[in-house]
Structure 1
Amino acid sequence: MMNVVQPISEVQNFDTFISTFKEKLANLFSAEYDYNAMSLQRGLPPHLLSEIMDMKPLSVAIPESHGGRGMIVKECLGVLSAASYESLSLSLIFGINIALFLEPFAKYVHVARQDQVFTNFLENRAMGGLMITEPGYGSDALNMQTFYEEGANSFRIKGEKHWQGLTGAANYWLVAARRKNAGGELVRDIDFFLTENADAKQQIEVKQYYNNLGLYAIPYGLNHIDVEVPMAHRLVAESTGLKLMLDTLHRSRLQFPGMGMGFIKRLLDEALQHCKTRRVAGLRLNEMDAVKFQLSRLQAAFTLCSGMCAYGSKVSSIEQDVSGNGIDANSVKAVLTDFMHESAQICLQLSGANGYCLDHIAGRAMVDSRPFQIFEGSNEMLYTQVAEAVSKAMRKGKEKNLLRYLKGYALTTHAAPHFVGSLAFDFPDQPKKRDLVTLGRIISRVICFDMVLVLRDAGFSRELVDITQQHVHMDLTMLVGQLSSKNDAVPLMEYDEDASWTDCC
């Protein structure tokens, strides 16, 4: 008789699931294990990771037909948020598995391979990741040198990849490579392949582990690839491999706020508690005006992230093609991660000298949040892409005024009227790259505040939205001022001549 899988979602509703998960994580990280001390060690203790994975957190990213909870984005973001409240590293481990492996795996891998892999995730604590980045070709994925050749019944893949989270720890990888044609040249398009480390022919060798500055729980390194995989292990793209890659990366960026949500809330909670109890010159810190500004800044970050979570939960399921969502996905990732790092800086500043320790929540948060502004596309690059895409659309519509355009643009129609004074200027005809970054910062913040306004209309706190509007307005005012300063300074590559102050005294 065939065994019928009983989906986890039928056993336990999500409110109960996530409540139990949060409670267990809080106990593990604050009572059973000294996480402050662990933060100085590489990797999570095996017993801790086992207890976490025994709760089957990745079940949220596995289809019901395979025993999971159904790949509901809201649930995925809930698990990421619960994890990041206790550990940003743990949340990133989940984020890598969910957005960079399980979701593209479910969408693009041949169904014949899915049952065994999903079972290993649910029952055997398996993990997976994505390999795109190469030495010498960081953000230049289209020029990657990892290649594959097609044999009679398999594909042979060779190359090097680095800075993949879970290096040496993942059981499965989705590896990006370009086909080598008969002339020995690499074609333009990209293909992706599933590898399984349990198969000797598919094992990826770790050449070196990196001494990463933060995120100690996650191994990173240099991987040497020389594997042979079956034909069924090539991912089935709906059109091109490039579109598959964009669909995967944009979905991941749209789900970044799940990791940011718990992280920012923890920093906000820690800062509020500290400022309520810490006294300086007879006053509690939260009674001082400069501190009130910083705390309200944290609440603005919390509110922006909330709006992004609500937006991402609606638009980033695997049933939706997000390959064309470059503007909103890039805006969400860049704005969120900027605010994550700023929130850590604020919490550290408010914590005083105690915060400047790796085993303090603020010190650890500052170091752990910094790479989020770099990986999956540096924020400067993403802001540039946002500005270039909007500029192209404006030229096509023969519109030069940014305010008029954003008022009619679907992603900013609610927010643009709130910032008339800041946005009423003509988009430069041929802006410098540095100005494109600034323009991207401006546009992205309007896009993300639009998400907050939609959330407000659904019942979210109006007081928090009002606080956030003031901070976004302040940011836009400063960014427009930066743009109008017309700074065209360039560095002196040979600067030593006449540059010693002692010669001038």
Structure 2
Amino acid sequence: MRRTVYNEDHEAFRSTIREFIAKEVVPVYESWEAEGHPPRSFYNKLGALGVFGIEVPEEYGGAGETGFKYQAVVVEEAARAGVTFGSSGVHTGLVLPYIMEYANEEQKQRWLPGFVSGDIMTAIAMTEPGAGSDLAGITTTAKLSADGTHYVLNGAKTFITGGVVADLVLVVARTAPYDPADRRAGLSILCVDTKSPGYSVGRKLQKIGLRTSDTAELAFTDVKVPVADLLGEEGKGFSYLAHNLVQERLAIAVGAYAAAAAAVRFALAYVKDRKVFGQTVAEFQNTKFTLADCQSQVTAQQAMVDQALELYQTGELTIADAAELKLFCTESTSVVVDKCLQLHGGYGYILEYPIARLYTDNRVFRIYGGTSEVMKTIIAKSMGL
């Protein structure tokens, strides 16, 4: 189905990204998977290409674009090639909106130029061993010093994407005692320099997918965080987190759609080439019906994604809209990728084939950014249930 969501500038950017991936990513991707993340120099290359600065105002070194369309192009092209860009999606898709919305001018001047160039890589630390989707249950504490110059941070986080290579981590912590009557109160976001004494990176977690995206455990032992590194206002952390969920879920949905489209593309190429019983796999009716069904699912996802990108551009994409989008795209993609892997037969289970990576990478789409069950709860609530 013809797309109208992108203009000529977006498509020119797409060509640049596609060429960059073919030259700088595909030839070395296996080494990234073995290491668990891309080399630091790769992030500087993304910075030089302008990927990190698309939505950053020109005064801080960026391009000053609005919306999510350019980032969506990056996501689509990476999936098309069967690769990922390490933790760069968190850097631009999750962390940047917080800095742009809540950082003061001094903080923006201090952080954004390095953010754009890739000299400062970022992550966000919300999840704790005992508090996953229940962010109100966060127990990491940040107590203001007696002289009021800094916070003393103590606690632990887990499942932190980019936690191994990050230079600056947005840490959600309690700056006020837990109040059972208002569990969401008292949370703040501190921007923590990872070179701070008492800050430590624990295990680099081994995942079944997204193996070029470093995921780590973090620990804080009496880490001193200057009050100048408090993001926004103290105690407003929970509302800040809710503010960015729409874009986060939009990004996940775009990634899921792109993975499904890539799966169909890989499967189509494979079945046309692979021969069994004297004919190509593509000639069997089951193959034709399976791929037709998968393509219909991809087209439906595309329609939802494109409308969501337009609505987000105008500020009209709601929390419920984003929940529906994420739920449909991630659940649909899981079916499409599974069927496309099945068409590869035994080769679909071999990692040298990109469909195998899509299969394992895709599984987390239904978990992070809020599980499918959480999405259903949000949608039901929007229906008055």
Matches within 5 A, 1:488-503: none
Q: Give the drift of 1:124.
A: 4.2
Matches within 5 A, 1:117-196: 117-151=111-145, 152-181=148-177, 188-189=184-185, 190-196=187-193
Letter in 2 for 1:196: D
Q: Give the drift of 1:87.
A: 4.1
Q: Summarize the Cα distance change of 1:29–1:207 in structure 2 as closer, same or farther, 3 Å threshold.
A: closer
Question: Which of the pair has more CA radius of gyration?
Answer: 1
Unaligned runs of 5+ in 2: 1-7
Please provide the CA RMSD for this pair: 3.0
Matches within 5 A, 1:406-417: none
2:259 maps to which of 255, 258, 263: 263
Answer 1 or 2: which has greater strand percent: 2
Q: Give the drift of 1:177.
A: 1.4
Equivalent residue, structure 1, for 2:209? 214
Matches within 5 A, 1:59-138: 59-72=53-66, 73-90=68-85, 93-138=87-132
Equivalent residue, structure 1, for 2:51? 57
Q: Secondary structure at the match of 2:155?
A: strand
Hey, what's the Cα distance between the residues in 2 that align with 1:187 and 1:388?
Answer: 20
Letter in 1 for 2:277: A
Matched-pair contact (CA < 8 Å) for 1:142–1:188? yes
Hey, what's the Cα distance between the residues in 1 that align with 2:61 and 2:194?
Answer: 23
Matches within 5 A, 1:106-505: 106-151=100-145, 152-181=148-177, 188-189=184-185, 190-198=187-195, 200=196, 204-226=199-221, 227-236=223-232, 240-316=236-312, 320=315, 325-392=318-385
Hey, what's the Cα distance between the residues in 1 that align with 2:301 and 2:77?
Answer: 14
Unaligned runs of 5+ in 1: 1-11, 393-505
Q: Secondary structure at the match of 2:152?
A: strand
Hey, what's the Cα distance between the residues in 2 that align with 1:287 and 1:192?
Answer: 57
Matched-pair contact (CA < 8 Å) for 1:131–1:176? yes
Q: Give the drift of 1:231.
A: 2.3
Hey, what's the Cα distance between the residues in 2 that align with 1:205 and 1:163?
Answer: 14
The structure showing larger relative contact order (alpha-carbon pairs under 8 Å, at least 6 residues apart) is 2
Matched-pair contact (CA < 8 Å) for 1:205–1:224? yes
Q: Secondary structure at the match of 2:20?
A: helix
Matched-pair contact (CA < 8 Å) for 2:123–2:170? yes
Please give the per-residue CA displacement for 1:239-288, whole angstroms capped at 9, x wherever unaligned.
94322211112221022233234322222211111222333334433333
Please give the per-residue CA displacement for 1:457-495, whole angstroms capped at 9, x wherever unaligned.
xxxxxxxxxxxxxxxxxxxxxxxxxxxxxxxxxxxxxxx
Q: Give the drift of 1:350.
A: 0.8
Hey, what's the Cα distance between the residues in 1 that align with 2:168 and 2:284?
Answer: 52
Hey, what's the Cα distance between the residues in 1 that align with 2:280 and 2:378?
Answer: 44
Matched-pair contact (CA < 8 Å) for 1:255–1:312? no
Q: Secondary structure at the match of 2:84?
A: helix
Letter in 2 for 1:77: A
When the two structures are superposed, what TM-score results if normalisation uses the length of structure 2? 0.86
Q: Give the drift of 1:47.
A: 5.5
1:44 maps to which of 28, 38, 49: 38
Hey, what's the Cα distance between the residues in 2 that align with 1:94 and 1:216?
Answer: 13
When the two structures are superposed, what TM-score results if normalisation uses the length of structure 1? 0.67
Q: Give the drift of 1:315.
A: 3.4
Identity in percent: 23
**Does 2:5 match 1:23?**
no
Hey, what's the Cα distance between the residues in 1 that align with 2:182 and 2:169?
Answer: 22
Q: Summarize the Cα distance change of 1:312–1:94 in structure 2 as closer, same or farther, 3 Å threshold.
A: farther
- The number of residues matched between the two structures is 373
Hey, what's the Cα distance between the residues in 1 that align with 2:103 and 2:31?
Answer: 41
Hey, what's the Cα distance between the residues in 2 that align with 1:139 and 1:173?
Answer: 19
Q: Summarize the Cα distance change of 1:49–1:107 in structure 2 as closer, same or farther, 3 Å threshold.
A: closer
Hey, what's the Cα distance between the residues in 1 that align with 2:235 and 2:159?
Answer: 28
Q: Give the drift of 1:52.
A: 4.5
Q: Summarize the Cα distance change of 1:78–1:369 in structure 2 as closer, same or farther, 3 Å threshold.
A: same
Letter in 2 for 1:84: A
